[in-house]
Structure 1
């Protein structure tokens, strides 16, 4: 930080040229020291109570209002400094500075060495023309254009990255690590760390990246497969490109991509390279001239017999159809054939006594029944129509028995046969 230097009237005039329309070059030749604190004024002609004048000075111009001055005294004198003044080569006091606190104390065996920036607040005076004598030990502040003294930056200042006047040490540089919000130095990751994929602080090298190959359990880099490799379908380490995928067309010996068939192509049934969608399959309905999909007919539709676009299942085809083949048996037609039932059997007793029980009941009605046997009196064959089982108690038909009409059963012998039709 520069101290404020007060110019004297004589010093300001000494910097001006003869025409008083500019400045002229002047050389600082000495610095007067005092142990007395004083008030710098423009009227001063000498440093109050000056105790020593130093001629071993050096310096440099930092700006038109700031100079950097270094002074040295390696004598064995002892003194205290609270003020100082700069003298020009013509003996004129250029300006002064003083403060109540001690600026510097010198002991006998020590070397007095003071380096500071002096700044003047008088904007009308340009002190950049000042020159110095001995300059081999000056310590001006360092800039991007000039070497000089510089303060070392702290680790926090290095990490903040905003200070442009302090210097970075190796330790400070080591603290400037890179993060996801800050640029900085970074350690290189090993191949194992790259493959693990969990380290968030190290950088990946090209060699490390090359080791991060993709597997079925890890993301990574992958080599592209050729069309031949895609079609072979055996490589487990390379990736398929769109062009390679297009080359993998499906065939009857290889899985692959396939174009969808139109409804017309599905109905034609000649294309061997395209795939059928559910919607396309639904269009391939069965007709008398082509195979295809078909809905299942309901039992009512099977019974009605008018629908010509649906299929009949075995269950519905047989609905109501049953049989029993034997001496006493029946054949029951399916419902779509009217549900007719044909029954037959043998009897070995008079038909009048309890009637003849059929193997199964007629669900709706006995249409006709006949009995065949031998006449009791002479043994001649005899045929009579039989009637449904009539219940004299309830005046109803049970649909399970038949008997000879008009008491003709009394004329039958012990054996005979019967036949009945119903539904």
Structure 2
């Protein structure tokens, strides 16, 4: 099974990731990783850090002649800003110059709890690892699983449906047409927008909202829509809590910094409706596989994929660092103080949507491997195709 770990600080020399369990025989090109990293860096409302970094990943192990070899894959992303932080982030020698400690926590951030939990006298170590800069390593690591899934006919895509007050009430009319071509088509359309929205009117409203927030020294969050197409019926299981597909997908999304809510299908609307208006009815025509006219379940029933498009929604809160800081206090004096200001974005929702695509990929890949088994791509695809054929046979009249 695939698992990955990341390491590195926001202003350290580099970020790194180790990916274990990738099957052998999967063709990987540098652009499969680096294009995803570039997508993560884009988006209207990003801060100055993105003008410094140009993220690319060096592959240090696990790939030979452009194909995975079944051993752990090591990735490293250089932090170009490290040259400006070699004194503040020195790893062994105590700097001769005085480095002022940060002792004023930001509301909504890991600062206060992290400092107390780990026994620091300075918030800086918390800032460095809690930072969403870590997600660059995750996007690189998870891009490998996205490639694997594409070989299996599974695509992951996303768009941003709301930023602050700007966005849609109903799903974009363009969405279904794009999804019929595969979820990657949805992402390509969203990538054409600097806020990853599908409708020009919403895009203009979001840009105006971000501009206003920046002028006010404020920040904005938003809502991300993730879609997964080509998922066969029967991935995941109901038999144990820790193997439920919906739980694993939700956990992956909630692991992203600033994501505080996850919805599968139209779950929150469903909670206000009677069952007769919620559950997706099934129809059989001419002895073919059953079809559904709705997908309110979001492609998951009984914690298993049901053959429909998987639809996930994630709510990202506004970033905790405000240029017009909120009320806080100084831990060194226990006196009232405005919160610490750290270089930050005004809005990172478009980037978060790319990260969301990434983190769900290993979840789907593991659900697929759990169903098929296998150590190399050819073996896995052979078993997947046999499984799909057995499903089709079930529905023959």
TM interval, shorter chain, is under 0.3
TM-score (norm 2): 0.16
TM-score (norm 1): 0.15
Indicate the structure with greater helix content.
2
- Considering Cα pairs closer than 8 Å and 6+ residues apart, tell me whether 1 or 2 has the greater RCO: 2
Indicate the structure with greater strand content.
1
